[in-house]
Structure 1
Amino acid sequence: MKKLFLVAAVALMSWNGNAQDKESKGLEGAWWAGGQVSFSKDDNGTSETTSSTFVPVVGYFITPDVTLGIGIGSISSKTETTGTPSLTTAETSTFIVQPLVRKYWSLGGKFYFFGQASLPMTFGKDKISDDKITSVGLDIAPGFDFFVNKWMTVETSFSLFNATSTSNKPNVGDSTSDFSVNFNPFDLNPGTRTVGGLRVGVKFLF
């Protein structure tokens, strides 16, 4: 712990020698912000699907190498026929809350390895059928972080293991539930983003 403390302190002091008091603590006490923002549109000739994701994440380093964070946002998707007039055939809206904890290990210089555990909780609604779908999961994701400067890092990670409990409450009929466990670190297809989906992003420190 003391070794990690000193490594983090030296690394940060090399970026800005005028902030010695703050940097002597490494990352302890620093806030950070990141998240995911995306928009996509797919037209197969007969229908068009648009989807958007907005999940900002903020966190706080409680020690030089441990941070707590939480992401709150939404995912929406809508499919319409391409005829005139168009017809909505599918539309969903999902609210997401995801607390997380992350532990860092220095690899030397500005490179760090981390292990992250998160608890994603989703609350979704099918706007066509009025069905409600909720889920609670556990996700374990290792990754690497490169500190570009004192206020920005570039990170990449993949999901190594996850377990999810899902409940489906239809507008008509009985509720159903499902529990799944997945372990497949070699599935790096970013289109599925289930297990092993490679994630690359930017994090800002302040």
Structure 2
Amino acid sequence: MKKVILASAIALFGMVSAQESETPGFVKGDTFITGAVGFTNSTQGEVKNNTFTIAPSVGYFVSPNIAVGVRAGYTNMNETDKTTSITVENESDTFAVGAFGRYYYTPASRFSIFGELNANYGNQKFTNTVGGVSTDAKFNAFDVNIAPGVNYFISKNFALEATWGVLGYSSFKQDVAGAESQDNFNIGLDLNDLSLGLVYKF
């Protein structure tokens, strides 16, 4: 399923006071906001899943072609399974922080291509409840990714953004003594890795 990113810039727009640039595109000194705000609800038979995500990002152009930034995120997932006589519930809360760098080709024009390198750290609390009895587990995660993207300005300050595919490494480990990490390398270029978003520049 495609991941459609709804920019947190929309929610933050009313909080930002800034003058519009004269022309579309990015120049040195520009700051931009993007990110994800979303809620999904799915039902398959007796299994129901609700997921809420908020993940704003802020970037700054330190040179005509290079932008650096930070991001943070929170995701809550709740799943209920009633396929048997005993109800099973799974809930997780995930917090993440990260940093990224981008190199833009023709950033001062309406259309540009960029490559992004990002590194992220997160921790997750997972609760499994079976028949009213709960057990908790905590996990730590780290990942590094490289992804290409495109940017197209639809007005002086708003742009559409798309990224797809990933070349990355991730490590996932339970937060207990002696636990072994699960390490993965990933290369993906299919449409399931497509992310669409909106960027606000000020």
TM-score, reference length from structure 2:
0.78
Shift of 1:143: 0.7
Partner of residue 135, structure 1: 141
Counterparts of 1:39-54 in structure 2, within 5 Å, are: 39-54=39-54
Quote the Cα distance in structure 2 between the aligned partners of 1:31 and 1:107.
13
Shift of 1:134: 1.0
In 2 relative to 1, CA 99–107 (structure 1 residues): closer, same or farther, beyond 3 Å?
closer
CA contact (8 A) 2:164 2:195 kept: yes
Quote the Cα distance in structure 1 between the aligned partners of 2:58 and 2:107.
24
Q: Match of 2:67, as an amino acid?
A: T
Tell me, yes or no, if structure 1 residue 96 matches structure 2 residue 100.
no
Shift of 1:69: 1.0
In 2 relative to 1, CA 169–109 (structure 1 residues): closer, same or farther, beyond 3 Å?
closer
Shift of 1:43: 1.5
Quote the Cα distance in structure 1 between the aligned partners of 2:108 and 2:63.
18
Quote the Cα distance in structure 2 between the aligned partners of 1:167 and 1:90.
18
Q: Which runs of 5+ in 2 are unaligned?
A: 1-20, 129-134
TM-score, reference length from structure 1:
0.76
Quote the Cα distance in structure 2 between the aligned partners of 1:34 and 1:121.
19
In 2 relative to 1, CA 14–132 (structure 1 residues): closer, same or farther, beyond 3 Å?
closer
1:53 alignment partner, SS class: strand
Shift of 1:177: 0.7
Shift of 1:87: 4.6
Shift of 1:150: 2.0
1:22-74 C-alpha deviation (Å, 9 max, x unpaired) = x9xx5211111110111011122313110111001111111122111111111
Among 183, 194, 199, which residue is 1:203 paired with? 199
1:81-111 C-alpha deviation (Å, 9 max, x unpaired) = 469xx95511111001121001100189411
Partner of residue 187, structure 2: 183
Identity of paired residues, percent?
24
Quote the Cα distance in structure 2 between the aligned partners of 1:169 and 1:109.
47
Quote the Cα distance in structure 2 between the aligned partners of 1:114 and 1:56.
19
Structure having the higher strand fraction is: 2
CA contact (8 A) 1:78 1:88 kept: no
Q: Which runs of 5+ in 1 are unaligned?
A: 1-11, 16-22, 190-196
In 2 relative to 1, CA 205–131 (structure 1 residues): closer, same or farther, beyond 3 Å?
same
Q: Match of 2:195, as an amino acid?
A: R
Q: Give the number of equivalent residue pairs.
A: 174
Partner of residue 116, structure 2: 116
Of structures 1 and 2, the larger Rg is shown by 1
Among 168, 176, 182, which residue is 2:174 paired with? 168
Partner of residue 105, structure 2: 105
Quote the Cα distance in structure 2 between the aligned partners of 1:139 and 1:177.
18
In 2 relative to 1, CA 49–14 (structure 1 residues): closer, same or farther, beyond 3 Å?
closer
CA contact (8 A) 1:139 1:159 kept: no
Partner of residue 158, structure 1: 164
In 2 relative to 1, CA 79–64 (structure 1 residues): closer, same or farther, beyond 3 Å?
same
**What CA RMSD, in Å, does the superposition of the two structures yield over aligned residues?**
2.3
